[in-house]
């Protein structure tokens, strides 16, 4: 009997995944829990295991194809059994059904959403659009207030949005093949290039951009698409505000320089400034817990656990794994977890659990040499703070000039949740904590 294998849901908010690589081919023998393929979602790359032992009967979804959660991706013939005629028919029907579907453009889930009402009105009079309509509008930067709805009572359907996108593409195509009236026809004759013959790439607004000789078009990965979408969402939805304070961390620099060689020799990894910074932030959150909250439209949720999101970059993308219960860890404990998460990120071994549950974000932009930044909020968190590059500067102490190690602490805040007063006090507390860590020669264990 052939067993169906469906696209699993690799996370609470994950609705689809892209099969990047099949690890088995048709006819291969597969053990229970053995990996079948690699799937990339908007959050993580993971392996899909087999639920039974048997033989891979048929691959339904080819590499590079994006499918919805719950959609059939392959068939496995259970060990010691043969597929019946009924199952063979089922395989052919499933394959035919998949071939008739548009690839990577419309998922089963979207087709279901298209049939649903496009909008609904709630008690306060605000309009809500269906998930399919919202997704299309965000991907193509469509202003839904300018789209005419063909549904009941003027409701906007997914088809209305697609028509609007098509109109934009036609306008762009017309513009790219037409010489402006004020531009002499000799321009094309002299250059020997006609705009209509140049390949182009389209923006989210449907605008066509010419790709000239020597240009390189890089396909956007699922992870990069998600990063772009979430950054745009954060900037559109959250009213950002910024604050920067300068801190004298000379004593902390001296203390780290004193212990770093012995630490690496004993522990096997380096002690950076980031664990000290995170510890200073966590202790400040304890005094100003409103900073550790999220926006939930009609309420502000003050989170009990202090889970710190940190940014880890790879050549392909930026990931934000989470240090859970950071307030219960020592500087050494935080440093060890940072090292482990960084290793897992660069090896592509992050799990969904590693990426979920963050309540506040800390980023060490100073590692790139940055001295001032205005980070984008990690939605729906209320704040994100960066530690910039530590540089030696002349400062005035007791009316005398001295060379000190100074660092800028930059925080972005969601002004729906936080105001300047509490954030100013919070960042000031982070600064005090950093200064005291160096003076007190804190026990990192």
Q: What was the pLDDT predicted at 297?
A: 79
DSSP 281: H
- Give the CB-side neighbour count of residue 229, counting CA atoms within 13 A: 16
The answer to whether the CB of 110 falls within 8 A of the CB of 132 is yes
What are the angstrom distances between the C-alpha of 394 and each of 2, 157, 245, 367, 434? 74, 62, 17, 22, 19
Q: What was the pLDDT predicted at 282?
A: 96
The answer to whether the CB of 202 falls within 8 A of the CB of 209 is yes
Q: Which two tokens stand for residue 232?
A: 């745009």
Helix axes 222-237 and 131-139, enclosed angle (nearest 10): 100
Q: What was the pLDDT predicted at 289?
A: 95
**DSSP 3-state of 332:** helix
Residue holding tokens 């392996």? 47
Q: What was the pLDDT predicted at 411?
A: 94
Q: Which residues are catalytic?
A: 415, 419
- Please confirm whether the linkage preceding 17 is cis (ω < 30° from 0): no
Which domains are assigned to the chain? 2-108 (2.40.50.100), 116-217 (4.10.320.10), 225-440 (3.30.559.10)
Length of the chain (residues): 445
Render 377-400 in DSSP notation, one character per residue: P-TTBSEEEEE---EEEEEEETTE
What is the Cα–Cα distance from 226 to 308, expressed in whole angstroms?
Answer: 21
Q: What was the pLDDT predicted at 91?
A: 47
Q: What was the pLDDT predicted at 207?
A: 59
Residue pLDDT tens, the chain, 445 long: 688 899 888 766 678 888 888 999 999 999 888 889 988 877 677 888 888 999 999 999 988 888 888 899 999 998 765 544 444 455 455 545 544 444 333 344 444 444 444 444 443 444 556 656 666 777 677 777 778 777 666 778 777 777 877 776 555 444 444 434 444 444 334 333 333 334 555 555 555 678 888 888 877 776 677 777 777 878 777 888 899 999 999 999 999 999 999 999 999 999 999 999 999 999 999 999 999 999 887 889 999 999 999 988 877 677 889 999 999 999 999 999 999 999 988 888 888 888 889 999 999 988 888 999 888 888 889 999 999 999 999 999 989 999 999 999 999 999 999 988 999 999 999 999 999 887 766 678 8
Q: Which two tokens stand for residue 400?
A: 């005398």
């Amino acid at each position: 009997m052939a067993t169906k294998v469906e696209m699993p849901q690799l996370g609470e908010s994950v609705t689809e995944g892209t099969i990047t690589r099949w690890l088995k081919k048709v006819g291969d023998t597969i053990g229970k829990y053995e990996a079948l393929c690699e799937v990339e979602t908007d959050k993580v790359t993971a392996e899909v295991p087999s639920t039974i032992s048997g033989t891979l009967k048929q691959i339904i979804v080819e590499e590079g194809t994006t499918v919805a959660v719950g959609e059939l991706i392959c068939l496995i013939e259970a060990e010691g059994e043969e597929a019946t005629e009924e199952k063979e028919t089922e395989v052919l029907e499933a394959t035919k059904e998949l071939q008739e579907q548009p690839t990577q453009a419309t998922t089963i889930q979207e087709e279901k959403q298209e049939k649903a009402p496009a909008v609904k009105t709630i008690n306060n009079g605000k309009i809500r659009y269906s998930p399919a309509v919202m997704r299309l509008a965000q991907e193509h930067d469509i202003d839904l207030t300018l789209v005419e709805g063909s549904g009941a009572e003027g409701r906007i359907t997914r088809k209305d949005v697609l028509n609007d996108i098509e109109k934009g593409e036609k306008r762009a195509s017309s513009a790219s093949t037409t010489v402006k009236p004020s531009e002499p026809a000799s321009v094309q004759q002299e250059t020997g290039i006609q705009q209509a013959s140049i390949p182009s790439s389209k923006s989210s607004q449907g605008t066509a951009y010419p790709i000239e000789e020597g240009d390189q078009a890089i396909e956007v990965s699922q992870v990069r698409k998600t990063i772009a979408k979430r950054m745009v969402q954060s900037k559109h939805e959250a009213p950002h505000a910024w604050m920067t304070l300068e801190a004298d961390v000379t004593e902390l620099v001296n203390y780290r320089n004193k212990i770093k060689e012995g630490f690496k020799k004993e522990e096997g990894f380096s002690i950076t400034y980031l664990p000290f910074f995170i510890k200073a932030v966590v202790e400040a959150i304890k005094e100003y817990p409103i900073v550790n909250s999220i926006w939930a439209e009609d309420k502000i949720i003050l989170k009990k656990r202090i889970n710190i999101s940190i940014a880890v970059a790879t050549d392909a993308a930026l990931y934000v794994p989470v240090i859970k219960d950071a307030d219960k860890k020592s500087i050494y404990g935080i440093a060890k977890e940072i090292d482990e998460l960084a290793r897992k990120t660069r090896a592509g071994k992050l799990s969904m659990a590693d990426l979920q549950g963050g309540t506040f974000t800390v980023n060490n932009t100073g590692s790139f040499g940055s001295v001032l930044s205005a980070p984008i909020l990690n939605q729906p968190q209320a704040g994100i703070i960066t530690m910039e590059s530590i540089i030696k500067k002349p400062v005035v102490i007791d009316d005398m000039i001295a060379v000190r190690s100074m660092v800028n602490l930059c925080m972005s805040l969601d002004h729906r949740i936080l105001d300047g007063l509490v954030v100013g006090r919070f960042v000031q507390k982070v600064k005090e904590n950093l200064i005291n860590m160096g003076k007190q020669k804190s026990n990192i264990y």
